[in-house]
């Protein structure tokens, strides 16, 4: 089966997939309030269905979080094939200048395969210690963390371990992980525009930070489904695909959990004979060898098991075996599926496009905000019949958020982002009541969605800031208050 840069699109039944099953999956996503951003279903090397929830787009990249780990594993497999290293190599052998007697005593038995299989022996994830290292030396911070279990005997999800794989690759190749992968993996798959975050010392973060398009995720899964081959050319060694996706260590015994089916080399084993790469807040590359299928998903949610349950409950049974009768869609099912896919949209708070009684038509309202931890000094609104512009001024400068009542408006904003850097956003809003404007700000290349509930009172404003997901989502909740002030034209 050839994999080409531009994946072929077909009707679901052409590759033995029931259109009704796909519709069932999409309905389950909606009914269970699973905030998907995109999905693609591939079978027999072709795209049977794909969709993006507006304002997310097929030509835009998305943060992959820990799905990045599977790409790091692939780089290690390529380096092993080039005989640059072995999974049996000791980790400290790559960092002679760091090794002290204490580090040797602590890390002396740690091997590359232990980093790959999350069996380093640490009792806690090392990543927070890497992030907080005052010198930004993540390698030294990792090597100094105590190991409490014999390596290879204890599973613990450890993003710092994946960072060390990236550091090793950069050490032995003289180039970053992304640079190393580009000609060997990304270019053959037709993947362009990939970016990867770096640590303060210029090493790709490895365990997170990769941004790709949804179709790129699907191509990666298809490559693994084809045992590492593209157009008859072996891109990734088949032996590595088998080893990386096999169960290398046990990670639980719950038959109902897709996080307790075993772990490979930066790949999770799944129920139903499948395996996957996955990332925080619902970034998935699910490979289903028994069905000859791949499911790629991006999301912004906390219920990751719910997404996989929807795949198993609806997409899995929608795929017909070779000896089973071909699925027969009703005359209207294809049209219905196309219509549903065309009209997918991120769920927002129900609102109305009406002018608030507390804010006059064509008004400009400015408010001086009380002290707050985000350093927001003032908020200003401009309204017309079609929408609004919300301007936020503070210690990071001024950000304008134009939004409409009937559609998303795309722009850039660094407000409330982790580092304050500019990021693509889409804004939409409406009136929940006569004096409550709800503004939704979607970071369109990330899972983050901000909900700003602005309550206009006589001469004052209250702004409740909430976000959908985050490692510290509760801490990000804010209730801002401000008083009206004259507009300075």
Average pLDDT value for residue range 432-441: 91
Average pLDDT value for residue range 93-107: 97
CA neighbor of 469 nearest in space, from 33, 35, 166? 35
Tell whether the model's pLDDT for residue 99 goes beyond 90. yes
Tell whether the model's pLDDT for residue 157 goes beyond 90. yes
pLDDT at position 184 is 98
Strand-strand pairing, 268-269 and 233-234: unpaired
pLDDT at position 61 is 97
What phi-psi label fits residue 276: left (phi over 0), alpha (psi between -120 and 50 degrees) or beta? Answer: beta
Query: pLDDT grade, residue 362 (50/70/90)?
Result: very low
CA dihedral 151, 259, 450, 353 (to 10 degrees): 170
Query: pLDDT grade, residue 487 (50/70/90)?
Result: low
Query: Omega before 460 cis (within 30°)?
Result: no
Please report, rounded to a whole number, the percentage of residues in the chain having pLDDT higher than 70: 93
Q: What is the pLDDT of residues 238-253, one digit of tens each?
A: 999 999 999 999 999 9
Q: What is the pLDDT of residues 25-61, one digit of tens each?
A: 999 999 999 999 999 999 999 999 999 999 999 999 9
Which of 137-141, 292-296, 395-399, 425-429 has the lowest average pLDDT?
395-399
Which of 133-137, 225-229, 325-329 has the lowest average pLDDT?
325-329
Which of 48-52, 83-87, 333-337 has the lowest average pLDDT?
333-337
Tell whether the model's pLDDT for residue 2 goes beyond 90. no
Does the pTM surpass 0.85? The reply is yes
Query: Domains (ranges, CATH) in the chain?
Result: 8-60+213-342 (3.40.710.10), 69-178 (no CATH), 364-485 (2.40.128.20)
pLDDT at position 195 is 98
| Mean pLDDT computed over every residue of the chain | 92
Q: What is the pLDDT of residues 445-467, one digit of tens each?
A: 999 999 999 999 988 999 999 99
Tell whether the model's pLDDT for residue 134 goes beyond 70. yes
Average pLDDT value for residue range 100-108: 97
pLDDT at position 477 is 79
Tell whether the model's pLDDT for residue 94 goes beyond 80. yes
Which has more pLDDT, 228 or 392? Answer: 228
- Please state, in angstroms and rounded to a whole number, the distance separating the CA atoms of residues 402 and 381: 10
Dihedral sign computed on CA atoms, order 177, 183, 184, 189: positive
Which has more pLDDT, 49 or 361? Answer: 49
* CA-atom Rg of the chain in angstroms: 25
Query: pLDDT grade, residue 413 (50/70/90)?
Result: confident
Please, what is the angle between helix 68-81 and helix 159-173, to 10°?
40
Average pLDDT value for residue range 160-183: 98
């Amino acid at each position: 089966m050839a994999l080409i840069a531009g994946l072929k699109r077909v009707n679901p039944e052409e590759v033995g997939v029931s259109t009704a099953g796909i519709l069932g999956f999409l309905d389950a996503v909606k009914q269970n309030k699973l905030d998907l951003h995109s999905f693609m279903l591939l079978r027999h090397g072709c795209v049977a269905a794909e969709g993006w929830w507006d304002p997310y787009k097929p030509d835009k990249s998305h943060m992959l979080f820990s799905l990045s780990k599977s790409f790091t594993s692939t780089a290690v497999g390529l380096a092993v094939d080039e005989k640059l290293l072995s999974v049996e190599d000791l980790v400290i052998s790559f960092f002679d200048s760091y090794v002290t007697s204490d580090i040797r005593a602590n890390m002396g038995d740690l091997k590359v395969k232990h980093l790959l299989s999350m069996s380093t022996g640490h009792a806690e994830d090392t990543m927070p210690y890497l992030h907080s290292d005052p010198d930004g030396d993540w390698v030294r911070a990792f090597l100094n963390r105590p190991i409490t279990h014999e390596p290879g005997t204890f599973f613990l999800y450890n993003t710092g371990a994946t960072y060390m794989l990236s550091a090793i690759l950069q050490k032995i190749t003289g180039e970053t992980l992304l640079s190393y992968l580009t000609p060997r993996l990304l270019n053959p798959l037709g993947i362009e525009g990939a970016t990867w975050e770096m640590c303060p010392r210029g090493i790709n973060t490895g365990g997170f930070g990769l941004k790709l398009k949804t179709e790129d995720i699907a191509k990666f899964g298809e490559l693994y489904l084809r045992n590492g081959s593209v157009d008859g050319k072996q891109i990734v060694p088949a032996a590595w695909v088998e080893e990386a996706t096999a169960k290398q260590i046990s990670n639980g015994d719950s038959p109902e959990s897709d996080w307790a089916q075993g772990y490979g080399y930066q790949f999770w084993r799944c129920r139903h004979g499948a395996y996957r790469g996955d990332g925080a807040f619902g970034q998935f590359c699910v490979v289903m060898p028994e069905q000859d299928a791949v499911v790629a998903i991006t999301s912004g949610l906390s219920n990751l098991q719910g997404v996989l349950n929807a795949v198993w409950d609806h997409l899995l049974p929608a795929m017909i075996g070779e000896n089973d009768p071909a699925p027969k869609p009703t005359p209207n099912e294809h049209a219905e599926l196309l219509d549903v896919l065309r009209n997918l949209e991120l769920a927002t708070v129900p609102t109305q496009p009406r002018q608030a009684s507390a804010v006059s038509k064509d008004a400009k309202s400015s408010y001086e905000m009380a002290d707050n931890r985000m350093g927001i000094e003032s908020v200003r609104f401009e309204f017309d019949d079609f929408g609004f512009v919300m301007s936020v001024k503070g210690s990071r400068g001024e950000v304008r958020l134009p939004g409409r009542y009937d559609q998303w408006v795309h722009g850039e904003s660094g407000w409330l982002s982790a580092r304050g850097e500019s990021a693509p956003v889409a804004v939409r809003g409406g009136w929940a009541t006569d004096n409550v404007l709800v503004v939704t700000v979607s970071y369109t290349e990330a899972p983050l969605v901000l909900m700003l509930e602005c309550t206009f009172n006589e001469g004052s404003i209250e702004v409740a800031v909430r976000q959908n997901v985050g490692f510290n989502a509760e801490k990000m909740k804010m209730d801002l208050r401000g008083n009206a002030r004259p507009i300075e034209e």
